[in-house]
Chain A
Amino acid sequence: AQSVAQPEDQVNVAEGNPLTVKCTYSVSGNPYLFWYVQYPNRGLQFLLKYITGDNLVKGSYGFEAEFNKSQTSFHLKKPSALVSDSALYFCAVRDPGSGNTGKLIFGQGTTLQVKP
């Protein structure tokens, strides 16, 4: 069964410093991986995805993520954090294997707090 884990409930970083939000996954085949951000009282907003190809994918608002197949990880990164990046971040995985329904499974979320 597919699953995704975000080992940190909260990440704190100072504005201007690089940030990393961790994600690991488990699927039977090659995964499709996604990052979403959620601001208070809002729905989830798509940031970026990895499907195939270059392991480093770039997304919205200066975010990027690195796919590492050997470590089954897909960590979200940003070179220089902004206070406005403070939000709840979710990693999600879809197993595209034959016979699968395309179910999108989410991690439990990581709160990012960027301090001025």
Chain B
Amino acid sequence: EAGVAQSPRYKIIEKRQSVAFWCNPISGHATLYWYQQILGQGPKLLIQFQNNGVVDDSQLPKDRFSAERLKGVDSTLKIQPAKLEDSAVYLCASSLAASGFLNTEAFFGQGTRLTVV
């Protein structure tokens, strides 16, 4: 079974530039998460999709971050414009966890390491 795929693995940009990350979840997984993991901290949930709808984006900095999940499959996370404090690893995860499947674990991709200089 293929895992969660993310690209790119690494990205270096200058502040005020824009950047986009892509995620392809495990086939059949209804729920997709984007997490931000700053060095030395635990992953912080940015946005959670169930199929192609947003169910939680309470911690997404909406003035600069946006995300979409077209057709309930792939997802992109965009930052525009980037700030120095956005330097982090961005993790995508997916799970079966929709109504009736909340007991299922999430599977993570390898992440995209973003450095903003």
The residues of A with any CB-CB pair to B shorter than 8 Å are: 6, 32, 34, 36, 41-46, 49, 51, 90, 94, 96, 101-109
Q: List 8 A-B contacts (CB under 8 A).
A: A32-B103, A41-B113, A43-B108, A101-B50, A102-B31, A102-B102, A106-B44, A107-B42
Do residues B91 and A43 form an inter-chain contact, with CB atoms below 8 A?
yes
- Determine the distance from Cα of A42 to Cα of B9 in the docked complex, in whole angstroms: 10
**A43 contacts which of B55, B97, B110 (Cβ < 8 Å)?**
B110
- Determine the distance from Cα of A96 to Cα of B29 in the docked complex, in whole angstroms: 18
- Determine the distance from Cα of A44 to Cα of B43 in the docked complex, in whole angstroms: 10
Give chain B residues whose Cβ lies under 8 Å from the Cβ of A101: 48, 50, 55-56
Which parts of B21-66 form the interface with A (CB within 8 Å)?
Answer: 31, 33, 35, 40-45, 48, 50, 55-56
Tell me if B98 counts as interface (CB < 8 A to partner A): yes
Tell me if B77 counts as interface (CB < 8 A to partner A): no
Do residues A34 and B111 form an inter-chain contact, with CB atoms below 8 A?
no
- Determine the distance from Cα of A106 to Cα of B106 in the docked complex, in whole angstroms: 12
Which parts of B1-31 form the interface with A (CB within 8 Å)?
Answer: 4, 31
Do residues A49 and B110 form an inter-chain contact, with CB atoms below 8 A?
no
Do residues B42 and A42 form an inter-chain contact, with CB atoms below 8 A?
no
